[in-house]
Structure 1
Amino acid sequence: MLGEVAVAPQDSQLRTKGDDRDLEARLPGTPSQVSRARGLVTDALGRDHPLHDDVVLLTSELATNAILHSRSGDGGSFTVTVTNSEAAVRVLVSDAGSDGPPCVCRTSARSTSGRGLPLIEALSHRWGFTREDGSTTVWFELQHTRVPAAVAV
């Protein structure tokens, strides 16, 4: 993982590393920063990237969870890291931690929350989380899929 980068809410730090494009930003733990997290994905990938919409959606879910379910939403901050390589896009959202681990809880059809991690589980190729030193990092990965020319219509 990249070293910590402090970034103003309206700025981002785009770094290139070999063939990978990495972007990392620390954002205040306020609801308005969920939109900024989505913007970071666009900064890293560009709107024409084939995985853009899915990555934006899943990043939005993780940023929202960081604010609602961790100490980041109590005056803290969270970090979003986007890595784009030839093989995949990986996003990590690190927050200030909570009392329990992230839960892929099943909710009723009438619930107004609780669908973020099940959505990440359904749409991503891989995902997971780590908890250490009082913080939680949740990540997902979407792989680039290539259709052979003989199959494309």
Structure 2
Amino acid sequence: MNPAHSKTMPCLAESAGTARDLVHTALVGWGMNGLINEGVLLVTELVANAAVHTWCHTITVSVSPPGQELVRIEVSDQSTALPVQRTASGDDTGGRGLALVDALSFRWGADAESQGKRVWAELKAESLSPPGGEAAG
């Protein structure tokens, strides 16, 4: 099993760049280049949510492969308030982050922890078989 990549950083929107680099490095190292675009967008949204909606001083971003075809991206912070997905109206300037996370990920969620919470999203690698489910041959 490939080792997880993890980094603690300031709870600031600017930390999204460092988080994107972490996700990119992990996915390239695991040969999951097809998940890079979704992975960096997901981690950007998760870091932005922590920076905007919590009072935390630091966040920890982790990327791990819980299975051969899955990648889990997590952002942990010290706030106990769990995120709530809402429906933004056409005039709203925000409120779409978790809807984007939901659309991009295989599944996502949030877990309460003794010292805060962990918000996670999983990406599923595409099957190695050709389109249509037929085996090459």
TM-score where L is the length of structure 2: 0.85
SS of residue matched to 2:103: helix
Q: Conserved in 2, the CA contact under 8 Å of 1:97 and 1:131?
A: no
Aligned match of 1:36: 18
For residues 31 and 140 of structure 1, the distance between their equivalents in structure 2, rounded to whole angstroms, comes to 18
Letter of the 1:33 counterpart: S
**Pairing 1:102–2:86 present:** no
Q: Percent identity?
A: 34
SS in 2 for 1:130: strand
1:66-125, CA deviations, whole angstroms, 9 ceiling, x for partnerless residues? Answer: 1111122xxx10000001352211111001215x32010101112111111111112211
Query: Which residues of 2 match residues 71-82 of structure 1 at below 5 A?
Result: 71-72=55-56, 76-82=57-63
**Aligned-pair CA distance for 1:59:** 0.6
How far did 1:46 drift? Answer: 2.2
Distance (whole Å) between structure 1 residues aligned to residue 135 and residue 83 of structure 2: 40
Q: 5+ residue gaps in structure 2? A: none
5+ long unaligned stretches in structure 1: 1-18
Shift of 1:20: 2.0
Supply the distance in 2 between the matched residues of 1:147 and 1:23 (Cα, whole angstroms). Answer: 25
- The residue type paired with residue 10 of structure 2 is P
- Distance in 2 separating the partners of 1:122 and 1:31: 21
Deviates more, 1:82-91 or 1:58-67: 82-91
* 1:57 is aligned to 2:38: no
Q: How many correspondences in the alignment?
A: 130
